[in-house]
Amino acid sequence: MKAVSTLSSNALPAAPGLSWLPIAAFCLLWSSAFAAAKIAVRDCPPLTLLTLRFLIAGALMLGLAAAGGRWRLPPARDLAVLVLLGVLNNALYLGLSWSGMTTVSSAFTAVLISTNPLLIGVLAGPVLGERLGWRKLAGLCLGLAGVALVLRSRLSGMQEDLHGTLLVTGGLAALVAGTLLYKRLAPATGLWTSTGIQSLAGAAALLPFALASESLGDAHLTASLFWSMAYMIVAVSMGGYYLWFMILGRASATSASALHFLMPPLGLLFGWLVLGEAVSWLDLLGIVPIAFGIWLATRRAG
């Protein structure tokens, strides 16, 4: 696999001509998923939808690995790690956040999930032995300040449902745990194989809960459901997760997770463009400390 660079030449080992491409693609795909999910859950219960999405995406990714001659069953240790990662990164993270998104906005979900870099920055030291220098700390604080600015109007106006907020918070905790676990155990498996196994593990973990709590009769086969589902399978589950684990494999957990600070402005943008969700000028102002915070958090000391 070719090396991929990150945000700047001061951050991670670079590959010529690819410095911003995987970063920009990941951020756009990941942040757009919240609006696509909000559309999809209107016509299909969230756990049923996710189970089908993970099942189809996992089969496609393992098929690509086999077609490229890169499929092999991982050793037992790596397989167990990938299954656990699938439960955290797919089943719990998206299962909880999508369930919460039935009662809260897609923009609010994107903002809340984007606070994960601060949690990872704090935990990466004791868990991974990563050093949290003044640049990373300042960058994380600036990013958090930008997120707080974006959250201001939504929290003060009590526009979001408390139960939905708690579910999304649980999804946030699962994402943080999955990121730290991936960096800690780092399974040595090809990306199509590893993401495919994680996706299938997520489907298997969600299936009994979907069957127990939801009914297929509540699903409506509309054009919007079909296209949003297709987008999430191909662009997000296959493209977004592939890029995320590629970036995470090249960066420290703190630096890679700092990219999630871009999700509030991008999530707001997609919420406004696709769903017509309101955006204030203070929301947009939060982009400034977020962008500068990412630059600090991912910049290697010279």
Residues of the chain under the 50 pLDDT cut: 1-19, 302
Domain tally for the chain?
1
pLDDT, tens only, 9-47 = 333 333 333 346 777 777 788 778 778 888 888 888 989
- Answer whether residue 243 is part of any domain: yes
- Answer whether residue 51 is part of any domain: yes
Q: State both tokens at 147.
A: 């997120």
pLDDT of residue 2: 33
Closest CA to 39 of 254, 293, 249, 275: 275
Closest CA to 97 of 113, 111, 85: 113
Contact 244, 26 (CB under 8 A): yes
pLDDT of residue 17: 34
pLDDT of residue 108: 73
- Answer whether residue 11 is part of any domain: no
pLDDT of residue 124: 76
- Answer whether residue 1 is part of any domain: no
- Answer whether residue 5 is part of any domain: no
Q: State both tokens at 95.
A: 């299962």
pLDDT, tens only, 154-203 = 555 556 677 888 899 999 999 899 888 888 887 778 888 888 999 999 99
- Angle at CA of residue 123, ends 120 and 124, nearest 5°: 75
Closest CA to 182 of 58, 73, 298, 83: 83
The whole domain housing 244 covers: 20-298
111-to-28, 42, 142, 214 alpha-carbon distances in Å: 14, 21, 15, 27
- Answer whether residue 277 is part of any domain: yes
- Answer whether residue 14 is part of any domain: no
pTM of the entire predicted model:
0.72
pLDDT of residue 3: 32
pLDDT of residue 212: 92
End-to-end CA distance of the chain: 28
DSSP letter assigned to residue 43: T
- Answer whether residue 4 is part of any domain: no
pLDDT of residue 245: 75
